[in-house]
């Protein structure tokens, strides 16, 4: 395996670590004037100016600017900037085809099908660049947007925000577990004991966890090296429907003969102060579907209560045989860690960096409404096909990794229909109760596959001619 000299200052700053800001604004840009766009990119990569925001790089102990600014380009965007034919031909098929043509692999059918996506994602040919601004104050977002506007046509603006306490809609604490990378010190991950992933998991041109296998680096190397790919997703979440289903499931469970193996009578208080039996069962269903209690405590370490004494780690666990985390739960499907899976070779090879912020109005479970809200998600890795699509197609949906769940979809994220959906709740005696009849809770409302170039690559793009 070749070890490659690596200068982290050359990497865009949103790949290896998150910014943890209050707000995000994703600008969907069309390149109308190739020269103006190239000039903009050149200045942005070289440190910015009064008129052009600076592209944030991966700097240890970096200064905190008012706004962090990063870009990703679609295949249409590379073409619009004038990338030559041999460059375009060196990108992988899934990126060339783009997210809409991979819809069935991602479960984007029915209500989530691209033909139902609203503007700007109804016209992928005009989605060239997704520029993301992260800041704590709206004024910083507006300022950066005003700087971008002269060089591009802004075809879409998507605003997101962090909900309090790291929560997302559905009220789970999110953004807990991320891959760690060899040679990268992330202070937030120092207490995590998951194995470190090789840099090639997320950056092109570096060794991957597949021994001897490398993901293609687009040519010229200046463009491809240290690049990464992002599946940018606008995911609508049906918060009201989810809460409603929890109640339905809990009420059905009440009379189930095995419910005592799920929640012995009298233990409702372990689940939450003041909860009645239905309320406690709702939380158990929510926890098992996710693999974590809504406060983030993993079922793998604390199956019976979200408030274990003593406390447990949120990140340091595995899935041995007989794990108390259901095989069909969301976090175990998305990352089976070291647990036994059908595709032995695939343990830890499909790791994804996930960065997400919520969009839409607040949700109050006591006054549920159907307003559009959800997640603006970035799913980042060195291969869309080997990581994002592989996870979505074989694991989140289908459940190929474990014969006990094959044929079912992820209860939270999967392409479910009430007629066919199922999920096995794990009982304390090792048995299960099969839940059925839940609808799809999350579906796509837009998105794009983007290439996240290194800073030298952005400079290269700015110097294209013709």
Partner 1 sequence: MTEEEMAKKAVEALDIVPGGDTRRRPVHTNGVGVEGHFVASEAARDYCVAEHFQGGKIKVTARFSNGSGKTALHDGWSDVRGLAVRFHLEQDKQEERAVDLLAMTLTEFFTPTYETFLKFASYTNPEAPVTRQSAWRKLLELLELIQPALPAPYPGQTTSSVAGALRYADEHARSELSIFHAAAIGAPKSYARAAYHAVHTFFAVAPDGTRRAVRFNWVPVSGVLNTGPEDPVVDDYLKSDLQLRIKGKLGIGTDPEPVRFILMMTIGETGDDFDDPSRSWPPHRTRIVMGTLTIDAVASDQDADGERLSFNPWRLVEGLEPSNDPILSLRRNAYEFSRKRRGGVAGCPFSGV
Partner 2 sequence: MAGESGFDTFVDDLPRKWWFKLLANWIVIPFWAWLRPTPPLPGGPRPTPQPSENVQRMMNLVMPLKDKSPLGRAYAAMAVAQNVNEIFAGLDNVGTVHFARFVVIGDNLCMISVYDGDFTNYIRDFIATVGSVFDAIMDLVEGGEAVKPCETKIDAFIDWIHAHDLFQAPDLPTDLFRLQDAARGVERKREPGLLRSLSREYILQLNANPNFSLGGGYRAYPGFSVAQVRQKLGVGW
Residues forming the site for partner 2 (CB under 8 A): 92-93, 102, 104-105, 107, 109, 210-216, 341-346, 349, 383, 385-386, 389-390, 393-394, 397-398, 400, 402-404, 406-408, 415
Whether omega before 425 lies within 30 degrees of 0, making that bond cis, reads no
Task: Candidates 415, 425, 452, 458: give the one binding partner 1 (CB under 8 A).
Answer: 415
**CA-based Rg of the chain, rounded to a whole angstrom?**
22
Of the candidates 58, 51, 54, the one whose C-alpha atom is nearest the C-alpha of residue 18 is: 58
Task: Specify the residue, 321 or 434, whose C-beta has the smaller distance to partner 1.
Answer: 434
Specify burial of residue 464 (Cβ count, 10 A radius: 0-12, 13-18, 19+): middle
Secondary structure element (H or E) that encloses residue 24, with its range: strand 23-30
CB of 421 to partner 2, least distance (A): 11
CB of 433 to partner 1, least distance (A): 10
Q: Which does 434 bind (CB under 5 to 8 A by kind): partner 2, partner 1, none?
A: partner 1
Give, to the nearest 10 degrees, the angle between helix 277-290 and helix 239-254.
120
State the DSSP code for 281: H
Separation in Å, CA 87 to CA 82, 194, 216, 342, 463? 10, 36, 12, 37, 14
Segment interacting with partner 1, rule: CB under 8 A, options 18-26, 145-153, 356-364, 412-420: 412-420
Residue in this structure with the two tokens 């997640």, named with its chain if needed: 375
Q: Which 317-336 positions form the footprint of partner 1 (CB under 8 A)?
A: none
3 state SS of 326: coil
Residue in this structure with the two tokens 């014969």, named with its chain if needed: 403
Task: Specify the residue, 171 or 258, whose C-beta has the smaller distance to partner 1.
Answer: 258
Q: Are 330 and 207 in contact (CB under 8 A)?
A: no
Helices assigned H by DSSP within 199-329: 221-224, 239-254, 268-271, 277-290
Phi, psi of 363 (to 5 degrees): -120, 130
DSSP string, 363-411: --TTS------EEEEEEEES-IIIIIIHIIIIIISS-TT-TTTTT---T
Of the candidates 454, 409, 453, 389, the one whose C-alpha atom is nearest the C-alpha of residue 99 is: 389
Task: Candidates 74, 378, 387, 416: give the one binding partner 1 (CB under 8 A).
Answer: 416
Q: Cβ–Cβ contacts within 10 Å for residue 138, how many?
A: 13
Segment interacting with partner 1, rule: CB under 8 A, options 217-225, 341-349, 355-363, 410-418: 410-418
Task: Candidates 344, 419, 429, 466: give the one binding partner 1 (CB under 8 A).
Answer: 419
Task: Candidates 409, 450, 454, 462: give the one binding partner 1 (CB under 8 A).
Answer: 409
Q: Which does 390 bind (CB under 5 to 8 A by kind): partner 2, partner 1, none?
A: partner 2
CB of 130 to partner 2, least distance (A): 23
Segment interacting with partner 1, rule: CB under 8 A, options 119-127, 173-181, 221-229, 411-419: 411-419
CB of 235 to partner 2, least distance (A): 17
Q: Are 181 and 196 in contact (CB under 8 A)?
A: yes
CB of 420 to partner 1, least distance (A): 5
191 binds partner 1 (CB under 8 A): no
Angstrom distance (rounded) from CA 116 to CA 93? 24
CB of 276 to partner 2, least distance (A): 37
CB of 264 to partner 2, least distance (A): 30
| Cα 186 from chain centre | 19
434 binds partner 1 (CB under 8 A): yes
3 state SS of 37: helix
Q: Which does 214 bind (CB under 5 to 8 A by kind): partner 2, partner 1, none?
A: partner 2
CB of 109 to partner 1, least distance (A): 6
CB of 346 to partner 2, least distance (A): 6
CB of 400 to partner 2, least distance (A): 5
State the DSSP code for 239: H
Task: Specify the residue, 30 or 108, whose C-beta has the smaller distance to partner 1.
Answer: 108
Segment interacting with partner 1, rule: CB under 8 A, options 64-72, 291-299, 378-386, 413-421: 413-421
Tokens found for residue 181: 């990378």
Task: Specify the residue, 270 or 393, whose C-beta has the smaller distance to partner 2.
Answer: 393
**x/- binding map, residues 229-268, to partner 1, per CB under 8 A?**
----------------------------------------
Task: Specify the residue, 257 or 266, whose C-beta has the smaller distance to partner 1.
Answer: 257
Q: Which does 343 bind (CB under 5 to 8 A by kind): partner 1, partner 2, none?
A: partner 2
Tokens found for residue 381: 């890795």
Specify burial of residue 231 (Cβ count, 10 A radius: 0-12, 13-18, 19+): buried
Q: Which 96-155 positions form the footprint of partner 1 (CB under 8 A)?
A: 109-110
Which spans of this chain sit near partner 1 (rule: CB under 8 A)?
109-110, 409, 415-417, 419-421, 434, 436
């Amino acid at each position: 395996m070749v070890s490659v000299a690596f200068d982290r200052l050359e990497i865009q700053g949103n790949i290896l670590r998150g910014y943890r800001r209050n707000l995000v604004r994703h600008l969907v840009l069309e390149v109308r004037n190739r020269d103006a766009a190239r000039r903009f990119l050149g200045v942005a990569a070289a440190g910015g100016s009064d008129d052009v925001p600076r592209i944030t790089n991966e700097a240890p102990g970096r200064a905190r600017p008012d706004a962090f600014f990063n870009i990703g380009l679609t295949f249409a965007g590379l073409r619009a900037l004038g990338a030559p034919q041999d460059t375009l031909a060196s990108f992988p098929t899934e990126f060339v085809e783009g997210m809409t043509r991979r819809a069935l692999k991602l479960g984007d059918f029915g209500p989530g099908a691209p033909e139902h996506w609203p503007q700007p994602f109804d016209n992928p040919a005009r989605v060239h660049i997704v520029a993301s601004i992260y800041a704590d104050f709206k004024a910083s977002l507006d300022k950066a947007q005003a700087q971008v506007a002269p060089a591009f046509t802004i075809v879409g603006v998507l605003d997101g925000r962090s909900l309090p306490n790291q929560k997302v809609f559905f009220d789970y604490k999110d953004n807990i577990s991320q891959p760690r990378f060899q040679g990268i010190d992330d202070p937030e991950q120092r207490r995590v004991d998951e194995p470190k992933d090789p840099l090639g998991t997320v950056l092109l041109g570096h060794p991957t966890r597949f021994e001897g296998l490398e993901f293609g680096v687009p040519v010229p190397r200046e463009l491809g090296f240290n690049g990464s790919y992002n599946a940018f997703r606008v995911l609508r979440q049906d918060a009201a429907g989810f809460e409603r289903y929890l109640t339905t499931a809990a009420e059905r469970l009440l009379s189930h003969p095995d419910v005592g193996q799920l929640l012995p009578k009298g233990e409702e208080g372990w689940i939450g102060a003041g909860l009645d039996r239905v309320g406690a069962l709702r939380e158990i269903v929510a926890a098992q579907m996710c693999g974590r209690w809504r406060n983030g405590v993993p079922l793998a370490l604390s199956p019976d209560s979200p408030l274990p004494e003593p406390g447990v780690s949120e990140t340091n666990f595995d899935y041995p045989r007989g794990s108390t985390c259901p095989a069909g739960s969301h976090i175990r499907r998305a990352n089976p860690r070291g647990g036994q899976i059908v595709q032995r070779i695939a343990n830890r090879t499909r790791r994804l960096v996930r960065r997400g912020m919520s969009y839409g109005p607040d949700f109050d479970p006591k006054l549920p409404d159907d307003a559009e809200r959800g997640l603006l998600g970035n799913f980042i890795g060195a291969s869309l096909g080997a990581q994002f699509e592989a996870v979505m197609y074989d694991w989140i949906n289908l459940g190929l990794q474990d014969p006990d769940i094959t044929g079912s979809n992820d209860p939270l994220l999967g392409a479910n229909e009430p007629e066919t959906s199922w999920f096995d709740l794990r009982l304390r005696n090792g048995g299960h109760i099969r839940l059925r009849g839940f609808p799809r809770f999350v579906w796509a409302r837009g998105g794009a596959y983007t290439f996240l170039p290194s800073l030298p690559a952005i400079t290269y793009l700015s110097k294209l001619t013709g």
